[in-house]
Amino acid sequence: GESITVKELAEKMKNSPAEVIKKLMMLGVLATINQEIDADTATILAQEFGFEVEVKVEQDVEALFMQEPEDDPADLQPRPCVVTVMGHVDHGKTSLLDAIRETNVTATEAGGITQHIGAYQVEHNNKKITFLDTPGHEAFTAMRARGAKVTDIAILVVAADDGVMPQTVEAINHAKAAGVPIIVAINKIDRPDANPDRVKQQLTEYGLVAEEWGGETVMVPVSAKTRQGLEDLLEMILLVAEMQELKANPNRPARGTVIEAELDKGRGPVATVLVQNGTLTVGDNLVAGTTWARVRAMMDYKGRRVKKAGPSTPVEVLGFSEVPQAGDQFFVVPDEKTARQIAEKRANRKREEEFKAAMPRVSLDDLFNQ
């Protein structure tokens, strides 16, 4: 409940704390100057001094905005799927992401495009797919640790010459724990020692059985080097995405997740965020973790300035108070004051928790066993 200290109450009534303590004693309450007294006691006391009291209940603004209001199903529209790539070291995650991006570059962009942020979108059969460039397991662990779910589909890259390796298994476990469907990209099939069937065989041990073997897992042989199979892979991503019926409401204040963030010398704190629901607009105020931002500018993955970013769109955002953390969830609030207030409150709480965690702990056992 609400409370006030004796000292504060005395100050408000322009009276001395001693007078207040005396009055309290007459009411049968023994109090010191810094003691908190509850709203009821304070009210009676103030009335004794001839004041009227109005008790204001401080609203928990944070809770107000943290909770995501349910969308009316009628407001929902299809959104692009969000894909991350996972797999063992050197199995070709980066090469595959690069090859997919470059395959999608239009003639006018000949020579390739420079990707500016850790995410990009491609279009296949007039449908967009969002690829996150963060190493898959990081995306899963860091983000899941903060309760964020960003990925709709995990692409598990397994090199056809190397087969299932420890991090392959780790990746499978992460995706399964997150409840995210897996598409296996059997990579490097151009290599003479490639053995896709051996990969399929190995994966059965982890519950991933290829469709052509009577199972349910989509497995696509690809080569990031020759680009063989990339169209098939995109096709399969869209197919799996379609079954998920991914939807969002573009007509509401945005919320989403910070994908990566850094301090840029010239531009200050910059963050790549993924909008997951609603539309983020330049000028919006948002809270992300213990930081806040008034969105000053937004850039898409090609570095072009954009004014708006809808569901499943990755954008770079300028205007943060400090560098947020990857995995921080963000939500838009009505004004800068609210954004600042919530962020500061969270920062204070975090400092308190860190302080508490750093204090030496003494248990009753320690005291008695000395």
Q: Which residues participate in the annotated binding site? A: 87-94, 133-137, 187-190
As measured in angstroms, the least distance from the Cβ of 175 to Mg ion is: 18
Cα 13 to Cα 97: distance, rounded to the nearest angstrom: 67
Paired sense of beta strands 268-277 and 280-281, if any: unpaired
Assess 94 for contact with ligand GTP (CB under 6 A).
Answer: yes
Return d(Cα 181, Cα 179) in angstroms, integer: 7
Query: What sign does the CA torsion over 73, 75, 78, 81 have?
Result: negative
Taking the complex as a whole, the smallest distance from the CB of residue 211 to ligand GTP amounts, in Å, to 22
* By CB under 6 A, residue 340 contacts ligand GTP: no
By beta-carbon proximity to ligand GTP, the closer residue of 62 and 90 is 90
What whole-number distance in Å separates Cα of residue 210 and Cα of residue 216? 6
Give the span between the Cα atoms of 304 and 323, in whole angstroms.
22
225 binds, among Mg ion, ligand GTP, none (CB under 5 to 8 A by kind): ligand GTP
Is 115 one of the binding residues for ligand GTP (CB under 6 A)? Answer: no
Residues numbered 63 to 122 that lie near Mg ion (CB under 5 A) are: 93-94
Q: Give the span between the Cα atoms of 21 and 48, in whole angstroms.
A: 12
CB of residue 69 to Mg ion, shortest distance in Å: 39
Query: Hey, what are 76's tokens?
Result: 């929902």
137 binds ligand GTP (CB under 6 A): no
CA distance linking residue 63 with residue 157, whole number of Å: 40
Distance in angstroms (rounded) separating the CA atoms of residues 8 and 36? 9
Which partner, Mg ion, ligand GTP, none, binds residue 338 by CB below 5 to 8 Å per kind?
Answer: none
- List the interface residues with ligand GTP, window 217-256 (CB under 6 A): 223-225
Q: For the CB of residue 101, give the shortest distance to ligand GTP in the complex, in Å.
A: 13
Footprint of Mg ion (CB under 5 A):
93-94
Footprint of ligand GTP (CB under 6 A):
87, 89-95, 187-188, 190-191, 223-225
